[in-house]
Amino acid sequence: MKVKILEVSSGELKRAIIKEGNKRKLPSIQDGWIFNLHSKATNARAYILVHEDTPETIEGCMIFSIHETFGPFMNFLEVAPHNKGKQGKYKHVAGCLIAYACGLSFEQGVAEDKGILTFLAAGKSKKSVEELEELYRQKYGANKNPFGYMEIYQDQSKRLIKEYLDRN
């Protein structure tokens, strides 16, 4: 899927692609990423976002599966180390991947799960998790369910898809 990410230095939207990632070539902790993106879930699929001009460089990665309890589930989401913080090279990487996962939820979810994306905010510390949860609430419209997981419901999923995927 073609998407656009924001190059911070120029302020321009740049063409990028979300595609299924090769599990053997996914980034890991050894590459400076926080998570080991080699998911153990048997039905999990990895998706990577790459800039069209530099397809060998992964700008962000997301692992998606259908959870036996929660349905459509984003197991992991991470932007590349060079895209983190205010000095990051590209913005909208996480938004594009989350919106893509919302689209997968509409495609693969069953009954009332269609369009709902469930995930767990994860970080290095309790404070970083709380900050991340607040970011997910403010920027992506996520809510916390009674089990402590974050969820993006159908209306917000549609909004994110329109905002991040339909502008191409």
What was the pLDDT predicted at 63? 92
Per-residue pLDDT tens digits of the chain, which is 168 residues long: 999 999 999 999 999 999 998 776 777 766 777 766 555 556 889 999 999 999 999 999 999 999 998 999 999 999 999 999 888 999 999 999 999 999 999 999 999 999 999 999 988 889 999 999 999 999 999 999 999 999 999 999 999 999 999 765
Would you say 156 and 141 are in contact if contact means Cβ atoms under 8 Å apart? Answer: yes
CA distance 131 to 133: 5
pLDDT of residue 123: 81
E-strand stretches of 21-159? 45-51, 54-67, 71-79, 90-91, 117-119, 143-144, 150-152
Burial 129-154 (b: 16+ CB within 10 A, else e): eeebbeebeeebebeeeeeebbbbeb
The model's pTM is 0.93
pLDDT at residue number 43:
81
The pLDDT of residue 36 is: 62
Please give the domain boundaries of the chain with CATH numbers for all domains: 2-165 (3.40.630.30)
Q: Which residues pair with 12 in a beta bridge?
A: 7
Residue 1: per-residue pLDDT: 94
